[in-house]
Amino acid sequence: MTTLYAKIVMIVKRIFTGKIILYAILAFLFVLTVMAYTTYDNNRNEIIDQQHQHLLTISRSTCRSLEIYVGEKVDCLKILALNDRFAFAMKNENRLALQSYFCAYLEAQKEDVRRVYEINKAGKIVYQHPEPTTPSFSNSYAVLSKDIERVLAEKSTYIGRAKKDEDGQYVINIFEPVFYDREFIGIIVGAVSLNMMYEKLVKPVKAGKEGYAMVKDRDGIILMHPAEDQIGIDVIATRKERHPDFEFHELESLIEQQFANEEGTTIYHSYWWTDKKPQKTKKLNAFSRAYIGEEFWIVAMALSYNELEGPIRQHLVKIVQVAFVIILIISVAIFIILKIQKNKEALEVETKYLKELNATTEELRKKDLQLQHSQKLQALGTLTGGIAHEFNNLLTPILGYTEILKKSVAIDSKDYEYINEIYDASRKAKNIIEQILVFSRLDRNTTKYEPIQVSLLVEETLNLIRPTLTSNIKISYEDSSDGSCIMANQVQIHQVLLNLYNNAFHAMKDAEGVLKVTLSTVKRNEAPENYTSASETEEYVQITVSDSGYGMSAEAVTRIFEPFFTTKGLGEGTGLGLFVVQGIVRNHKGLITVESVVDKGSTFKVYFPKVQGTPSVAEEEKIEFKKLKGLKPVLMVDDNPKVLKVMKKGLEDFGLEVLAETNSVEALNIFKQDPSRFEVVITDQAMPDLRGVELAERLKKLNPRVKIILVTGYADEKVAEYMKRMIIDYYLNKPVIGKQMAKAVCDVLEKDY
């Protein structure tokens, strides 16, 4: 009895265990199926979303291409309209000349422009090219009449709506008014072919095997389509008339969406209108708007839904088949592998997180230090720039009036000597201001360079520093440069040398020492390799400044050019001297190196490319110009009345009539009254309401031939930009004198732009 009971229990257990395993397998298969379908559904939706975005990107790109294409046609027609010879021919009804211009224009446009029209100022079409087959212009006038009336009223460029021309081809007409000596003399019209626009910009756009791009206007009229019988029809109404049995509900919803939104995507059911017998199908659609003049066109991309879904569905079937074959064999192995992999990934994620956290912390620390340096430099730059600006405004009247007084006083009188001393002191103050601007880095990219004989500059700076040195320091100077020149700014090189001398003095002030300065020329193979590899110069000027002071450690040498780093004691240095020196040297395409040994001294070597040239003479010695009497008045603008007064007086002494104005907006209004009244405008940069460059830009729009001279405390990057764009013709750094302004007026009037 006991044995029988045991057998029954064993059989039950086996059945129960077998059911559990079976249920587990079935459950696993069910879950796998659900996961496979979910993956399929997600992949399908993701691919469809990606394809929608791709179609939308293509639609946007096509819209931009259409807008740029039409914009180019407008610009080409505007160039023809602005041609003075063409306008003269049109005014005098020179038909032969006009035909030549129209032929050249149409030849340049190839087949993009079908026809060009000439319309007189009464709104009548007097000529068109190519000429019509019939002598009557009635058909053309019917197409253009309403647009002509608008252009006659507004006298500005206008792009008409897409219409059929007399040949039955869709075109957009671009209307451009023509003026001669500001007199409106008529209109020229270019008929841009939509067919050529489609062939060049829309037709090449593909969307899968069956998909295509189409364009319709804001009224739903199809302008561009791969099927010619679709062009010119209403996208809904005409199709309903042609196919009364078709279902258009979803297509109507799509059209409503396109008219209501700038862009969008959708999935809908419609027909392939390029087929002989259109069949209902599922499509993807993306659309965007192209703005053509005051109208907009809708550019729509259509793609077959089945073309995307079919490969995904087939791939899913294959995956499921393979999965069911191998699922029973590797289920346990997968479980173990997944568990091990999960633990491994968790460990890798944690390790990666710790590494990223450490790297982020280090990066934040570096950024914080950089921000502190940047804020310090910005504060110093703002402060020094403001000081320089105010000093320039103070120095301008001093220099200006001393220049005027020098002309009115005899050279051999004692008063002339006193005035000349004031003038020389003001000039030296101007040089100091230039050094301040170098320090604040406000003259970057605008510094004027000229050939400079280095030996003269070295000797001058040594003479300046010699009285400041203590008796325990000797100077040794050797020159083997043979009068070599470099292309440089004299004030900035002056500052480089004084900084190096000053550092050498501080390194030796507590003991006896020698400040040794050597000037020489070196060949390409004698200069540092990392410098000459990026240069094409064969010879360099080398300036060596060495001392026998306390020297620097290897760590200090690596940081010596960093901002705010100094080896001097508290209160003895800012840490900015060598930082500025390095910036100046780099701006001059040079290189500075340093070698130092503790307790033995330091040696700085500066390399500059050697140039062939004659050293520049002083500014006043080289200024030569003709008398300016008889020229048109000069408009002068500066918000500082004292500065304006002396500048006006200084320029009037050279025979020019000057109209001075302290308000930039009022100066603009004066110029608007008669833009041809002035040949030259001299304006300050830093003014309220309109800054100098902004005023110059507006004046150039009113009269492109007027010459603009900018007077500024410092020339920043914006001034350099406007010089490149030829909005500013010349600029002078304050303080300025009458002779400089007169020379500038001569220079800009002699230039041929």
The residue count for the chain: 753
Q: What is the 3-state secondary structure (H, E, C) of 330-341?
A: HHHHHHHHHHHH
Return d(Cα 549, Cα 601) in angstroms, integer. 4
Return d(Cα 546, Cα 428) in angstroms, integer. 28
Neighbours of 653 (CB within 10 A): 14
Q: What is the mean pLDDT of the chain?
A: 80
For the ranges 106-115, 377-386, 502-511, 657-666, the lowest mean pLDDT is seen at 377-386
Domain boundaries 82-196, CATH class:
alpha beta
Instruction: Please say if the pLDDT value at position 753 is more than 50.
Output: no
Q: How confident is the model at residue 217 (pLDDT cuts 50, 70, 90)?
A: very high
Tokens of 687: 């003014």
Return d(Cα 611, Cα 454) in angstroms, integer. 11
Cis peptide before 735 (omega within 30 of 0): yes
For residues 192 and 586, which has the higher predicted lDDT (pLDDT)? 192
Average pLDDT over every residue of 54-78: 92
Q: How confident is the model at residue 544 (pLDDT cuts 50, 70, 90)?
A: very high
How much of the chain, in percent, has pLDDT values that exceed 70?
75
Strand 158-159 relative to strand 539-546: parallel, antiparallel, unpaired?
A: unpaired
Q: Which of 401-405, 510-514, 590-594 has the highest mean pLDDT?
A: 590-594
Do 443-611 and 82-196 fall under one CATH topology? no
Residues 453-464 have pLDDT tens digits of: 888 888 888 887
Q: How confident is the model at residue 61 (pLDDT cuts 50, 70, 90)?
A: very high
| Sign (positive or negative) of CA dihedral 243, 246, 248, 250 | negative
Which SS3 state, helix, strand or coil, does residue 747 take? Answer: helix
Given a contact cutoff of 8 angstroms between Cβ atoms, the answer to whether 52 and 284 are in contact is yes
Which pLDDT score, from 0 to 100, does residue 514 have? 87
Residues 669-688 have pLDDT tens digits of: 999 999 999 999 999 988 88
Return d(Cα 497, Cα 545) in angstroms, integer. 9
Which pLDDT score, from 0 to 100, does residue 366 have? 58
Which pLDDT score, from 0 to 100, does residue 136 have? 47
Given a contact cutoff of 8 angstroms between Cβ atoms, the answer to whether 734 and 395 are in contact is yes
Which pLDDT score, from 0 to 100, does residue 391 have? 67
Instruction: Please say if the pLDDT value at position 322 is more than 70.
Output: no
Return d(Cα 172, Cα 527) in angstroms, integer. 66
CATH of domain 623-750: 3.40.50.2300
Average pLDDT over every residue of 463-476: 82
Given a contact cutoff of 8 angstroms between Cβ atoms, the answer to whether 281 and 266 are in contact is no
| Sign (positive or negative) of CA dihedral 668, 669, 675, 679 | negative
Given a contact cutoff of 8 angstroms between Cβ atoms, the answer to whether 214 and 153 are in contact is no
Average pLDDT over every residue of 531-541: 74
Given a contact cutoff of 8 angstroms between Cβ atoms, the answer to whether 433 and 391 are in contact is yes
Residues 124-159 have pLDDT tens digits of: 988 888 876 655 445 667 778 888 989 999 999 999
Helices (H) and strands (E) in the chain, counts: 20, 23
CB under 8 Å to 655, separation ≥6 — which residues? 627, 628, 629, 630
Angle between helix 95-108 and 84-91 (nearest 10): 140
Which CATH superfamily does the domain covering 443-611 fall into?
Histidine kinase-like ATPase, C-terminal domain (3.30.565.10)
| Sign (positive or negative) of CA dihedral 667, 672, 677, 679 | positive
Instruction: Please say if the pLDDT value at position 713 is more than 80.
Output: no
Return d(Cα 474, Cα 217) in angstroms, integer. 87
CA nearest neighbour of 445 among 667, 690, 717: 717
Given a contact cutoff of 8 angstroms between Cβ atoms, the answer to whether 402 and 422 are in contact is yes
Which pLDDT score, from 0 to 100, does residue 328 have? 62
Residues 163-176 have pLDDT tens digits of: 888 778 899 999 99
Burial class (CB in 10 A: 0-12, 13-18, 19+), 405: middle
Q: In what order do the strands lie in the sheet with 295-304?
A: 222-224, 212-217, 295-304, 280-292, 263-271
Tokens of 196: 């050529």
Instruction: Please say if the pLDDT value at position 471 is more than 50.
Output: yes
* Distance of alpha carbon 550 from the chain centroid: 49
Q: How confident is the model at residue 1 (pLDDT cuts 50, 70, 90)?
A: low
Instruction: Please say if the pLDDT value at position 424 is more than 80.
Output: no
For residues 709 and 373, which has the higher predicted lDDT (pLDDT)? 709
Instruction: Please say if the pLDDT value at position 594 is more than 70.
Output: yes
For the ranges 215-219, 456-460, 551-555, the lowest mean pLDDT is seen at 551-555
Average pLDDT over every residue of 284-313: 86
Which pLDDT score, from 0 to 100, does residue 619 have? 45
Which pLDDT score, from 0 to 100, does residue 722 have? 83
Average pLDDT over every residue of 487-501: 84
| Neighbour-count burial for 341-375, b at 16+ CB within 10 Å, e otherwise | eeeeeeeeeeeeeeeeeeeeeeeeeeeeeeeeeee
CB under 8 Å to 488, separation ≥6 — which residues? 449, 450, 452, 588, 608
Q: What is the 3-state secondary structure (H, E, C) of 568-595?
A: CCCCCCCCCHHHHHHHHHHHCCCEEEEE
* Distance of alpha carbon 219 from the chain centroid: 38
Return d(Cα 98, Cα 104) in angstroms, integer. 10
Return d(Cα 32, Cα 165) in angstroms, integer. 64
| Neighbour-count burial for 229-247, b at 16+ CB within 10 Å, e otherwise | ebbebebeeebeeeeeeee
Q: Which of 1-5, 204-208, 214-218, 396-400 has the highest mean pLDDT?
A: 214-218
Given a contact cutoff of 8 angstroms between Cβ atoms, the answer to whether 161 and 174 are in contact is no
Q: Which of 316-320, 324-328, 610-614 has the highest mean pLDDT?
A: 610-614
Domain residue limits, the chain: 82-196, 443-611, 623-750
Instruction: Please say if the pLDDT value at position 270 is more than 90.
Output: no
Given a contact cutoff of 8 angstroms between Cβ atoms, the answer to whether 517 and 543 are in contact is yes
For the ranges 2-16, 241-255, 569-583, the lowest mean pLDDT is seen at 2-16
Which pLDDT score, from 0 to 100, does residue 299 have? 93
Which pLDDT score, from 0 to 100, does residue 499 have? 85
Return d(Cα 676, Cα 667) in angstroms, integer. 14
Q: At 672, phi and psi to the nearest 5?
A: -60, -35
Which pLDDT score, from 0 to 100, does residue 740 have? 85
Instruction: Please say if the pLDDT value at position 571 is more than 50.
Output: no
Instruction: Please say if the pLDDT value at position 75 is more than 80.
Output: yes
For residues 99 and 447, which has the higher predicted lDDT (pLDDT)? 99
| Ranges of H-type helices in 626-710 | 641-652, 664-673, 692-702
Instruction: Please say if the pLDDT value at position 601 is more than 60.
Output: yes
CA nearest neighbour of 161 among 235, 217, 234: 217
Which SS3 state, helix, strand or coil, does residue 285 take? Answer: strand
Which pLDDT score, from 0 to 100, does residue 174 have? 94
Which pLDDT score, from 0 to 100, does residue 339 have? 66
Tokens of 332: 């346990």
CA nearest neighbour of 737 among 647, 606, 612: 647
CB under 8 Å to 53, separation ≥6 — which residues? 265, 286
Neighbours of 472 (CB within 10 A): 11
* Distance of alpha carbon 167 from the chain centroid: 45
Q: Which residues pair with 485 in a beta bridge?
A: 453, 611
Q: How confident is the model at residue 469 (pLDDT cuts 50, 70, 90)?
A: confident
Return d(Cα 744, Cα 740) in angstroms, integer. 6
Return d(Cα 276, Cα 229) in angstroms, integer. 11
For residues 256 and 140, which has the higher predicted lDDT (pLDDT)? 256
Q: How confident is the model at residue 622 (pLDDT cuts 50, 70, 90)?
A: very low
Average pLDDT over every residue of 527-538: 71
Instruction: Please say if the pLDDT value at position 481 is more than 50.
Output: yes
Return d(Cα 668, Cα 666) in angstroms, integer. 5
